[in-house]
Structure 1
């Protein structure tokens, strides 16, 4: 858990970005003969040497399975693996590391809650409240659970400023509402959820709350206890850690009430031929050999970000995100989706956008030719794109190593792209 301090000045923020950039090897390269400008961080972040070296040490020095051996290598691997769990717990302000469940990714974490808690608690007519802005990972599992349980799905709409509409949420909540599962920060709109309003609405009818924090945990200080929700999910690869691992945080009493989802080794207490007893959380939900090196890498990423200070990471991204929005909005023909940076809860350091008359994929392809990596498509938010009346968008997204020079290079390449298509179409 990070302690809030006064935000550093612009020069200090720029120095942080430059220092971090120098510690991320993949950023030091040329693409199609141009210096790489990496602006696809909402999809996945790049990794500092500290993370790469931590994973390399595991494989070089103490590669072994965890929890299963008394020999030196196994004991060290177990210690490092469980130390990583403790690091994640501290990073998000959990009351105990027993509240942290390692999963393959945030999608698996949501599925864990859906199939363990959802299947065992939802009945025909019970209501699940989602939103039109959810990532597919927070839509599809609940669709499947609703089909199996008879639960009803409801969806929060958007305000004219393209934020989640809390008035609409309150209208949707009824005594039949059992779960509200929403994105903390939209990966397309960049809007930030009014979590206190959501929790208040949920608690008024005794409903549970799940928060998809994939786009918030890497970018701002987060205290899961202060949030007041029941579950939080996040992915390692978006916070400078490796792919193949994410985590579920849950209030311990809630986790303790949930049955196992997958069976196998590690998650058991005693096994007989015709029945088994199960371990306490979090082991109850971690069947089989885990992603050991990946967990260690995630722990190293938590250490790395904590050393910077999540208050500074957030301040840096507010600065670079505002600069991105302002420079991009000055380009003729560009429409940016989501609220302005001056919105009451701010805006994430990402901009999904379209250029009038051009397809997002065409724009992104020419940007790539200029060495600029942005995302194109529906960003796993097809329902949101339909709601906005578009079939795709391009998205530029920043992180702690993004500089104003990166943004300037992106905007210059975008202007060149627009000019190219204008000449071709002339």
Structure 2
């Protein structure tokens, strides 16, 4: 990968923030968008803005082709077996909530178990809490190893024949841990449970093959993979989706409406009530084209290299605590850290004055923060457009931050 060529595709990166060149290290929150995606959105709104599936006029046909063409791109991108298994949603949160509201509430009862981990994002915790409350099911947590990884032995000890759902993120948005989803899925299936995967942090950074993983549901967000905000995907095995009820009702998802009863369209449209996220889907399709041109293997290798470089450089800063695996090969391009006696929000504020964008807070993972014994952390996350020079600037900024607060106090 030629990093300068990659960066040239992202207009937002070529600016100054607070008098310094922008160093964007917050891609785990949202990625930046290449020209190809921006142009796809612009073209849709300028040239063929129309609703889909309803009209026979030229603009409507072109919009429908763009929307459904994006669905096929997603199918190939994650290697789903059937086009009907790809449902467009607002994002990972909506996708996970759909599984919880439609599948889980209909199939779980008192005495059943839902198994997740301490590292989950709130969007993969709260829906299951609500399902447990409404059905009487029990919510259980797989413990973490000292470095934040998952032991398959602990998975086997936590998942039982009473377990009906196992839901785990493929990559942690805090620790960068890459979880052994294929192996966890096998354990879930051996116990008669279904496997739900939060793929928000994995899909942008590595090849995902849902058939190889054999997961039952997989959720992803477009905005973390160079696509627009407000668009995501729920993949589900066809036989499961066919037996699930929609969670939103109205136009577009119906087959026939009578005065007192209605019937639904076939998959995938029965889960896409109302005017769908047309521009978002088209933009996501363009993002997939872009990522495939670069190559997910190339992106993952680049990020592993950046993570290893960052771990080495950041460990040289006195008072630095880095969370998660110390071996870069075991994690994605995320480094979460704290500096002794400096609040992470103060770290982020000083770095911003240097033009460096990092995330600070609990990262929508408060149970994990409690496990880490930290109220908050700072996080630098890397993507295909970041460079080792930018990590050097981050480290320089961290040294300045430490010196500044040492002088103040």
CA deviation string 1:60-81 (max 9, x = no partner): 0000000010000000000000
* Structure 2 residues without counterparts, runs of 5 or longer: none
User: Aligned partners of 2:54, 2:79: CA distance in 1, in Å?
Assistant: 29
Residue correspondence of structure 1 range 248-287 to structure 2 within 5 A: 248-287=234-273
Which residue in 1 is equivalent to 2:335? 351
TM-score (ref. length: structure 1): 0.95
* Residue in structure 2 matched with residue 409 of structure 1 by the alignment: 393
Q: CA deviation at 1:342?
A: 4.8
CA distance in 2, matches of 1:155, 1:369: 40
Q: CA deviation at 1:358?
A: 0.9
Q: 2:205 aligns with which of 205, 219, 222?
A: 219
1:193 match:
179
Is 1:134 aligned with 2:120?
Answer: yes
Matched residue, 2:9: 23
> Is residue 370 of structure 1 aligned with residue 340 of structure 2?
no
1:149-168 correspondence runs (5 A)? 149-168=135-154
Write the distance in 2 (CA, Å) between the matches of 1:347 and 1:227.
18
Q: What residue number does 1:3 align with?
A: none
Q: Tell me, yes or no, if structure 1 residue 317 matches structure 2 residue 303.
A: yes
Indicate the residue corresponding to 2:380 in structure 1: 396
Q: Does 1:84 align with 2:70?
A: yes
CA-CA distance at 1:195 after TM superposition: 1.4
Partner of 1:296: 282
The CA RMSD measured in Å over matched residues stands at: 0.9
Q: Which residue matches 2:104?
A: 118
**1:240 pairs with 223, 226, 229, which one?**
226
**Cα distance 1:342–1:319, how it changes in 2: closer, same or farther (>3 A)?**
closer
What 5-or-longer segments of structure 1 have no aligned partner?
Answer: 1-12
Q: CA deviation at 1:164?
A: 2.1
Q: Find 1:47's aligned residue among 33, 40, 45.
A: 33
Which residue of structure 2 aligns with residue 421 of structure 1?
Answer: 405
Contact 2:147–2:324 (CA under 8 A) maintained in structure 1: yes
Counterpart for residue 181 of structure 1: 167
Q: Match of 1:383?
A: 367
- 1:324 offset after TM fit, Å? 1.4
Q: Deviations over 1:7-56 (max 9, x none)?
A: xxxxxx3x1x2212111000110000000000000000000000000000
Partner secondary structure for residue 158 of structure 1: coil
Using the size of structure 2 for normalisation, the TM-score is 0.99
Compute the displacement of 1:182 (Å): 0.5
User: Could you say which residue in structure 1 is the equivalent of 2:133?
Assistant: 147
Give, in whole Å, the separation in 2 of the partners of 1:390 and 1:342: 22
Q: What is the rounded CA distance, in whole Å, between the counterparts of 2:337 and 2:154 in structure 1?
A: 26
* Equivalent pair of 1:324/1:349 in contact (CA under 8 Å): no
Q: Secondary structure at the match of 1:330?
A: coil
Query: Residue deviations 1:369-405, cap 9 Å, x none?
Result: 0100000000000010011111000000000000111
Shift of 1:239: 0.2
SS of structure 1 residue aligned to 2:49: coil
What displacement does 1:265 show?
1.0
Post-superposition offset of 1:258: 1.0
Paired positions, count: 409
CA distance in 2, matches of 1:398, 1:322: 11
